[in-house]
Structure formats: structure tokens, C-alpha cells
A and B are shown apart, each in its own frame.
Chain A
Amino acid sequence: MNLDGDVAIRFDRVSKSIGTTRILEDVSFEIPRGTAFSILGRRGTGKTIALKLSIGLLKPDRGRIFINQEEITKLDIRGLLRVRKSTGFVFQNSAVFDSISVAENIAFPLRYNSGKPESEIQEKVRQQLLQVGLEQDGDKMPVDLSVGMRKLLGFARALACDPAILLLDDPWNGVDSITAAIIRKLLLDLKQRRRTTLLIMGNKMSEVRHISDQLAILDGGHMVACGPPNEVARCDNPIVRQFVSQEDF
């Protein structure tokens, strides 16, 4: 394992059960800073659980998780909140705040965490809306947006505080091809220009292959393959073959 300061996220033999169901079993991986790591798996294989574990929204039964060299499994709520200031999370269902407007959704974390004056917050909100193509929709309520637009709003909110690490739970789920292209461009831009570390959960190889530096396949609680996308594509594991054959890799 690489233990130098260039590792943004590290899972060390992490196991997690929900009720009597074993979701993750001795899962280990590490993500160097500024790279993109994707985990593919069928629905219900524990991808969302792994993401929630990585910022302490859930506690593992066993194993250790590190964010920027800090073991988060030992932190209390104050410590976790401090660590989360360096991360952003794009939820599968967007999880936008439906009682406040689109612009307020983006301003909300800035008001809490940035300490910036209101004029700077409003300028940042404008930039974020422009970045995801929602500049005309700032005054709308989230309920008035389509699924794809809500997803883009989730992106804008997660990126508002310029996180060094971005966690994405199936970002292409339920979006049209145009929105999918916007998301892909956004992720490439984040990785190449801002050196943001990306941890992407997905279920289609075609969606992540151009972005990912490393790719892992999760099945039955275990990582059945892990490595650069081209190496994983050559793996003989039947689950991996299923992912590859479906995507004309």
C-alpha cells in the first residue's frame, strides 16, 4: 500500500453488514490524489454503502478508512464535520433541499462553511449555476426541475465549496444523453484542471472508462477486479466479462 501523502482515500480491509446481510467483506483500495477511481457493480452490491462509509455517514464493522491520511473511523462528529469540508458528495437521487430555491441550495453550504461575505456567495452561486447550465433556473424550486436538472443542481451544490475530493453515486442514473455529456465534461474538467480526486460509483463501463485512472468491480461484497481500465477489461472473471461484453469495451 502507498502510505505517502499522495493518497486521498484509503480503504483498509473494510467490512460492513446491514442487519444480517454482509454488504462489504474485507474491501481494500486506495486512490491517489488528483485521480479518478470508479467502482462498478450491479444494483445492491454495496456501492452506496461504500461511499457513505468513506465520509463517515456509516461506520464500518471492521477495517479502517482514511481521508487525506486521517483515519475517519476513529473520529467523533466534530472531527467528521471537519474532514467533510474537504469532500463533496453527489447523491444518486440528488437529495437536493426541496424547501429552498435552486440558488439557495448552492448558497446554503457556502453560508455555513465558507465565511465569505454575501456578495461573494451570490457571485459563487452565479458561477456554479452557469457551470451546470442552470443559470436561468436560480429562482425555481427543486420540485420544478427535471431529474437531470436536479442531478446538475446536486453537482453544483457539492462543488460550491471547491472540495478536493468528490464522491459520486451513480451520477448518470436517470439522466438524458445531453445531461450525461455535461456531467462527463464536468468530471473531466474537475480531474484535469482542478486536480480533484474522484470516486465514482456506477453500473456501466462505458460511462466511466474515459474518466477513470483505476477501475474496480464489486460483487458479493468483494472486489473481484481492480486496476487500470484496460487491464480490468482483460480479466477472466465472469462478472467482469459481463460488464465488458455489454459495453463493447
Chain B
Amino acid sequence: MANEAPSTGGNYTLQLVLAWAVVAIPLLWGIQQTWVNVQKLFAAPTAASATAAAPATTSK
């Protein structure tokens, strides 16, 4: 095919690193924030029952 070009290469290494960093950093932050929420699912039965049981224990 005409106009064949290398799929990678050129003097773009710094731009590549910067461009990927610009999108990866907020994405990783978003995943980390979401994962904090996800932890609550794994703690579900314990957290729910423990919190539910807490007032009864203190009232005694």
C-alpha cells in the first residue's frame, strides 16, 4: 500500500509518555476511588450486622 509508515517510531517518545500519563493518572485515581467503595461490598454482612448489633450491646 502507498505511503507506508512505521507504526511506531519517530521522535515521539517524550510526547507518548506525557500523553499516556495525562490520561492514565486520572483514570487510575478514579479506579482507586471506586475501589474504596467496592470494599464496602466485601464487608457487607459483617459491617451491616456489626453496626446493627452495636446499639443493642451499648444499651445493655
Partners in one complex: no
Residues of B within 8 A of A (CB): none
